[in-house]
Amino acid sequence: MKVIKSKGPEIFDIELEKDLLAKNRLLAKRNRKIFDEKGILAIDIMGSIGSGKTSLIKAILRRLNMGKNVGVIAGDLTTTIDAERIKEEGAQVIQINTSKECHLDANLIQQAIKKMRFEGLKLLFIENVGNLICPGEFPLGAHKRVVVTSVTEGPYTLIKHPYIFRQADVIVLNKIDLARAMKVNPSQLEKDALRINPHAPLIKTNALSGTGIQRVIQSLGLKT
């Protein structure tokens, strides 16, 4: 039998990670309390790079037509490209650049909250950094979590990344118009989603054309 013997630093890293996750959960609870006190519904939008998170948010904002009553915290490694795109819809937008970090955390959201104008704010979208691994472990204090994937990521995305999809309240399968070209079977992805997370509806969308957007809005309990 092969035995792997842990070394001190490795054990320390594990303990450090536990402390980090516990601290994040504590800060997430504080963020949630702020959202509740202000009467703001916060929604965490997670998903891989290029899945269409920004396009989804823009499409929802156009339908809601709430202007400055909606806030968006846009997370990205560098640049303000996505934030500028979202700003076109009239929402209040705050950019967070994480540099080398592959996810947002509750502390970063807490910093962004301090810069927000809460007057009239009813809804907050948090666009997480494009990643299907790290964001799932770091709750931000949001009331709901959405995971966006797309058919261009292939037929095995859900079964290869079950953890993050288990965290979802809503799963969005975007770019559905490209399914045939990508030789991806949406019905199989629906079955995968049901097996991984039977409580989250999988909604097929084309964020650019607007297909499925109204159903996403309804699934989040929002009204147009």
pLDDT digits 0-9 by tens, 117-147: 999 999 999 999 999 999 999 999 999 999 9
Total domains present in the chain: 1
Which residue's structure tokens are 């309804």? 218
6 has a pLDDT exceeding 60: no
Buried b (16+ CB within 10 A) or exposed e, 90-117: ebbbbbbebeebebbbbbbbbebbeebe
Per-residue pLDDT, 16: 56
> How many CA atoms are closer than 13 Å to the CA of 37, on its beta-carbon side?
8
In a domain, 2, yes or no: no
In a domain, 1, yes or no: no
Instruction: Give me 164's structure tokens.
Output: 């993050």
171 lies in which domain range? 8-219
CATH number for the domain harbouring residue 37: 3.40.50.300
